[in-house]
Structure formats: C-alpha cells, structure tokens
Amino acid sequence: MTRLFNSMISQIGHHMNKCYTANGVGLFRSCFHSSAVTQVKQLGVVGAGQMGIGIALVGAKVAQLPVKILDTNLKQIEKGLKLVDVLISKDVSKNRITDEEGVFIKKRITTVTDISELSDVDFIIEAVSENIDLKRKFFEDLDNVLNKESILATNTSSISITKIAAATKRPEKIISGLTTSDETLNITKKLAISMGKTCTQSQDVPGFIANRLLMPYINEAIIVLEQGIATREDVDTTMKLGTNTPMGPLTLADFIGLDTCLAIMKVLHNELGEKYRPAILLQKYVDAGLLDSIKVIWAEFPEVIQEIKLIHLIL
Ligand SMILES: NC(=O)c1ccc[n+]([C@@H]2O[C@H](COP(=O)([O-])OP(=O)(O)OC[C@H]3O[C@@H](n4cnc5c(N)ncnc54)[C@H](O)[C@@H]3O)[C@@H](O)[C@H]2O)c1
C-alpha cells in the first residue's frame, strides 16, 4: 500500500523550496518550471503556515496552477502572503524569474477563509497543525464541500492517513490510505512531478520514512543538549560536517518548529513505543512557548533565556 503527500517541506525562506517529502510519497527538490502535465486544474491548500505557503508557492510557480489557500486565521494569511512576496522578490533579484513571471505567480495565489469557497478545487493538500482531530474534521467538512471526483491529500508528518481518510466517504480519493485507487495515486504522482518533485513511497505507518528516521535523530540531539553532553553549536557543527548535511539537527528542529517536532514525537511514542519518548527539554521548550526558533526567540526575549538556563540547571 502506498500513501502520498505528507510534505516534509522544510521551513522558511530559501529552505522552503529545497526539501519536500510526502507521507507515503516523498517529494524532493523543486525546480522553477516543470513541463510535466497534470490533470489538476485548480489546486487547494488548507493551512497558511510554513508548509501550506511553501506548497502553494511551488504549485503556483513550478506547476503554474491557480492555488486557493484556506486559513481561518487572518494574521496567518497576511504573514503567509508577505512571505510569498519576499520569496518571489528573491527569485527575481537572483534572475531565476522575471518581474512579469513574479506578478503572474502571485496572481495565481488567492486566499479564502470559508471552506465553501474551495468547492471548485480538484486537488486539496491539507497542511494544518499536526493534530488528528483537526485534520479529521477538515477532511469530513471538505468531503461535503468538494466535487466527488476531487482528491484529498494530507501533509501530515506522522498521523495515520487511513484514520484521516476514514472521516470521509471517499477513501479511494485520499492520498493514501488502505483503499486508495490506482487512478488517485497516478494523478497525484503526475501532480507531484509537475511541481518539480521526485516521488518516493512508503506504507501508512507513523512517521512514514522521513520522520521515522529524522525525528528520533532530532530528539536524541535535544537529549544530548539536555544532558549537558555538548553545546548546541558543537552538536550542530559535528553533525553538519560529519554527515555532510546543510544544517545540524538542532537548527533543523528550529526550522521545523518545536511544537511540530513534539507533536510528531508524541505520535511515534504512542504508536511505536517507549523508544520514541519525546525529550523532556523538547516538552519544556514548547511549554515555555518557544515554538518557532530557539535562536530568534532567545534573541528577542532575553528573560526567556534566563528561564531556559534555569531549566538547564534544574535538569
Ligand atoms: N514544519 C515542517 O517542517 C513540517 C515538515 C513536514 C510536514 N509538516 C506537517 O505539515 C503540517 C503543517 O505544519 P506547519 O509547520 O506548516 O505548521 P504551522 O503551524 O506553520 O501552520 C499550521 C496552519 O494551520 C492553520 N490552522 C490551524 N487550525 C486551523 C483551523 N481550524 N482552520 C484553518 N486553519 C487552521 C494555522 O492557522 C496555521 O496557518 C503539519 O501536519 C506538520 O506535521 C511540517
């Protein structure tokens, strides 16, 4: 059995365009224009967070599709559209696209706040927070709104897609659970290729491939920090140089978002057992509200640094 689309699209800014994987189907390396043909005529993205915005931009830029983004949080939509502007300007300034192409890409992206406005979308990629109840509710509601031929994909990092699909009356159109049809799988693969991605597939298991391997690695790096074995810098430098990766595990955790890392570790722990217990320090960072980037928040809120130092002392 295969499953698709849990994008492990990494983070903000330039990084956003570099690393996509998908649940069940990993999607790697976006390029600027793809000549691949997709049957999808209108793409929808649910959630204007870092992943949703990244997916929407790749859809509009590489697949050159009209994309509707749904989010109920207006601030998040505003923030997301600003990020789109920044990324398009960066492409223009680096001569990757012309000014005119930049304008067209932006025009292809529209935002909506009511789910009924997605009724004309034929392929949805859900990228709301990593919470099974939230995702199931969206799938149930979308099932009622969308044309019966429309396909639904989730960007989940770890949650069972079969469980999410069970909230709908179209499990054969969900990427991809137990009863996903071959047609749905093929349409999805073509869409991914049109977005400049290379697909990989896995079974519907917690964490799929990428997060099954990546999250325990990040979690262990946080435990190394928690136990005072090495500093943040030494952990990251060792792994960056030692494994020839663009960044170390703690920087990567910052980019992913510590709340997302914790949510994924909790799913792995619940579903796969003790070996995957989240690091105490990870839970504490999230409890302290340090969700987006340890570095940025530490720089902005020195009092929080004190609190974290205290946490280190207590630990
Ligand atoms: N961050 C990563 O690197 C990464 C990588 C791979 C997969 N993922 C997965 O992608 C998904 C999204 O992650 P993210 O990092 O973009 O999270 P995020 O917190 O940046 O964005 C989540 C978005 O969901 C929206 N949302 C929450 N509740 C909503 C509701 N009821 N109605 C409408 N919108 C709602 C929020 O407003 C926000 O815009 C998660 O399932 C995550 O596990 C994340």
- Cβ count within 10 A of residue 11: 21
- Determine the pLDDT at residue 302: 44
- Ligand 1-lining residues (CB < 6 angstroms): 6-11, 47-52, 71-73, 76, 127-130, 134, 155-157, 256-257, 260
Question: pTM to 2 decimals?
Answer: 0.81
| Protein residue with its CA nearest to atom 40 in ligand 1 | 130
Q: Distance from the CA of 310 to the center of ligand 1, in angstroms?
A: 30
Query: Phi-psi category of 29—alpha, beta or left, where left has phi over 0 and alpha has psi -120 to 50?
Result: left
Which band of pLDDT confidence, cut at 50, 70 and 90, is reported for residue 6?
very low
Q: Distance from the CA of 5 to the center of ligand 1, in angstroms?
A: 14
| Protein residue with its CA nearest to atom 29 in ligand 1 | 128
Q: Where are the alpha helices (DSSP H) in 38-173?
A: 50-61, 74-93, 99-108, 132-145, 161-165
| Protein residue with its CA nearest to atom 20 in ligand 1 | 49
Per-residue pLDDT reduced to its tens digit, 42-74: 999 999 998 999 999 999 999 999 999 999 999
- Determine the pLDDT at residue 182: 93
Q: Are 27 and 199 in contact (CB under 8 A)?
A: yes
| Protein residue with its CA nearest to atom 34 in ligand 1 | 71
The pLDDT of residue 235 is above 70 = yes
Q: Distance from the CA of 116 to the center of ligand 1, in angstroms?
A: 20
Q: Distance from the CA of 314 to the center of ligand 1, in angstroms?
A: 32
What mean pLDDT comes out for the span 238-266?
Answer: 93
What mean pLDDT comes out for the span 222-249?
Answer: 93
The pLDDT of residue 206 is above 50 = yes
Query: Between the CA of residue 207 and those of 21, 24, 155, 302, what are the distances in Å?
Result: 11, 9, 11, 35
Helix (H) or strand (E) holding 250: helix 249-256
What mean pLDDT comes out for the span 184-210?
Answer: 93
Q: Distance from the CA of 238 to the center of ligand 1, in angstroms?
A: 30
Per-residue pLDDT reduced to its tens digit, 258-284: 999 999 999 999 999 999 999 999 999
